[in-house]
Each structure stands twice: as C-alpha cells, then as structure tokens.
Amino acid sequence: MADLSVNFAGIRAPNPFWLASAPPTNSGAQIHRAFEHGWGGAVWKTIGAPVLNISNRYGGLSIAGQRLLAINNVELISDRPLDVNLREIAEIKRLWPDRAVIVSAMVDASPEAWREIVMQIEDTGADGIELNYGCPQGMSERGMGAAVGQVPEMCELNTHWVTSITRLPVIVKLTPNVTRITEPAHAAIAGGANALSLINTINSVMSVDLDTLQITPNIGGRGTHGGYAGPAVKPIALNMLTELLTDTQVLKSGVPVCGMGGIVTWKDAAEFLLLGAGAVQVCTAAMHYGYRIVEDMIDGLGNWMDDKGFATIADVSGRALPQVSTFGELDLGYQAVARIDPDKCIQCNLCYVACNDTAHQCIDLVAGNGARVNPGYDVRVNGKAVADTRPIPVVREPDCVGCALCANVCPVDGCITMVSVPSTQQNICWDALTAQRPEIATSWDAMMAYRAEQGIEIH
C-alpha cells in the first residue's frame, strides 16, 4: 500500500488532504469531526482582526442542473472571539497530535500586530502559520488580505515581520488577483516564507437575478464583489501552480507549495501533486458534500499510486512538470485528427454543428445506407429494431486541423478520440523556426512561402 504521509515544510501529516481555511474549519468541534473522517490536516479559519459578518454570504453557480460548480462568498475571517479560537486550537492539537494543525492569520499591517498574534498562535502548540494575503473582499478594504498580497513590497515586509519572530513554519497564501503570480511569490520568499499556498479566491460578481434585478448574493437589497472558488477554478489554480513550479527563482529557493482551488476528488488532487504540489487543501467540495469525501480521496489516491508504482507522495510530486512548455517550444509538425466511433455515436450531431459553425468545417453528415443497426441506440418501430438510416457524422481527415472541439462537445465518452497521424510537415517549434527564418514572424508573404514549402493548407 502506498505511503500517503507528507512532510510539508517540516509539518507532518498522515496524508496530503488538508481542509483549507474557510467555514469547514471554523471551530474545534468541526475540525475534530473532520479528523475522525481521516483528513490529514486543517488550516484554521483565519483569526485576527475583529469583524462583523453579513447575510446572505454565498452565491452559487449552477449549470444544466449541476449545483455549485462554483461558489462566491462575501464572508470575512472568523467572527468568533480570539480567545475561544486559541483555546480550541490548543485542544485540537492535544487530541490529534499526528494531524497538521495550521493557523491562518490576518491582522493590520504592522510589526506590533503580527508579533501579538504570532505569540498567541505559538502558545497553542500549532504546527504552522498561514499568512492570509488572499481574501479579496471586506478585509482588503481595510488594508489586509489581498491588499497585502497584491503589493510585493507589502508582501515581503509583512512576511518578514512574522518569520523574524517565530520558530514555526510560515506558509504564505497567495492571491490569484494579480497579473503575475510569481511576483508576490518572490516577495514572500524574500521575506523568509518557508512555504507557499495557492490559490485563494478570485474576485468576482456571481450573477444578477433577472426577476428582481438584484445582484446575488443579495444583502438587504445591495450586492458586492466576493471570492470565487469551487470546481470551475481548478484550471486557473493548476496554471498558477505550474507558473510557480517552473519559475527559476521559486525552484532555487526550494520552498514547497500547497495547492488548492477546485479539488473535489482524488483525481483532482493527483493533478495538483503531479504538477508539483507537496500537499493539497480542499474547501468548496467539503461544503457541498461534507467531510466524508476524504475517505474516497484517501482510497482513490492510494489505489492509483499502487497501480502506477508510486510508493510515496514525493514520488508523485512534480512528475508532470517536465512536460510543461511555452507555446514557442511546441512541435508545429505534430498532427492529430478526430475519429468518430460509429458504434458509440448517438447521432446527436453536436460535433457537426460545432465544427461547421465555429471550427474548421471538416465534419460531414453522410446519409445512412440502411445496412447498420446501432447496437447501443437502436431505432425502433413498434418495439422492433430497424436499420438506422439517419445521417452519420464523418470526419474528412485531410481537412481536420486537430482542434479537438468535437471531442470536447461530444456527450458520449470515448466516441470521438484524437488520434496521432503521420505528418509531412517539418518537426520544428516556433522559437527554432523564427530563429532560422525571422521574416516568418513579420511578413505574411514569408509565412505563405513557408506554408507552400511544407504543404500546409488552411481552408
């Protein structure tokens, strides 16, 4: 059985699945229940400056009957008294010495405020501190959260104030609401951060109710921007994780990164690990389905690691990173085409419509010859299967550019696959090509001449 234990910046846990700082980690009683289900760690809901929360606090994104594909929140940090939180943190760590108990903190940007809260956190016996530089709503207007994370100089300074006075590992939680995620990461590392975590929530307005004309969530007839999270943000989180872990300065520092953003299943978590995360955090999925989801996460990840021959989390972490390239490094000569399995096709024609209207017009509807019966989706008359003469979508492979739109819109798994085919084009990347023939990047005449040489026809 694979060993799922992790040592993240000196913080040990029995598995890489940690609850993120959020409503699921609001109290000791909640975290106690979570640990009973098997969570390897928890980041306590952010403590610090006094706040008052509002209601309604959440707006949800639902599409085609799928609930909570994303959540928008306008909730602030913990509104429970500081002394109550500190007491419960100490109690949880006493009851669960093998679990990672990390305390998220956010205070005014001053060395005095940070010293006070850090000393209080140290007294609880917690394993580490996560500095919340990410919240985009409410706290940022008070000069905290994203207001710190979006300004590298403030990020470095606040981090230094903490790392210079504590013996605990310090994790800096980065905001995604920046142009380049590497800049605050460099600042956090310069400030002495022992680890990074990302992403925090994305600034957003969830929706407008077309009946009431009110922004949602509706707070007494008014609305505001909030933090966007959930399954829909996973690709953004994976991209930012990749940006960090392919950055020379971050790699040279050796600081580990805890990944989060849209993790629902063990498969999601495995993707973060493969792109270099040393542990992962989960929030929205726990809010949607409860703490018990971690049981499937542990079983699923362990079984997959066994199947792949991975013995430890360290064996998994970063295994996909060598594939990461810039566009200029990709092979221009590689060619793939779409192929449709007629035995799986339900003849919905979505592939045809998508290709014909919005892609490269290389799928035809060919009249059925009356000779085949679709085994999975029989055409029936009076209860009897008859020959299916409906039009069949067929790809004209010489005209297919391999965009894969059809494969992505097809509702049947495995019906349309992208197949690598031999190419007559030169196997060269854009960077190498334009280094050899720089005029191709600036002259359409030169570009068309190269295409003619290579037999490239854009129809």
**What tokens were used for 453?**
């040489």
Does 135 qualify as catalytic in the annotation?
yes
**What tokens were used for 31?**
């975290």
**What tokens were used for 232?**
């829909």
**What tokens were used for 101?**
């108990």
Distances (CA, A) of 372 to 67, 224, 336, 384: 39, 57, 28, 14
Closest CA relative to residue 90, chosen from 47, 38, 147, 39? 47
**Measured between alpha carbons, how far is 31 from 44 in angstroms, rounded to an integer?**
8
DSSP alpha helices (H): ranges in 164-227? 182-190
The residue type of 204 is S
Handedness of CA 281, 285, 288, 293 (dihedral sign): negative
Omega before 56 cis (within 30°)? yes
From 135, 258, 345, 355, the catalytic residue: 135
**Measured between alpha carbons, how far is 80 from 57 in angstroms, rounded to an integer?**
16
Q: Which segments within 253-325 are labelled E, that is strand?
A: 257-260, 279-282
Cα three-residue angle 29-138-104, rounded to 5 degrees: 40
Q: List the catalytic residues.
A: 135
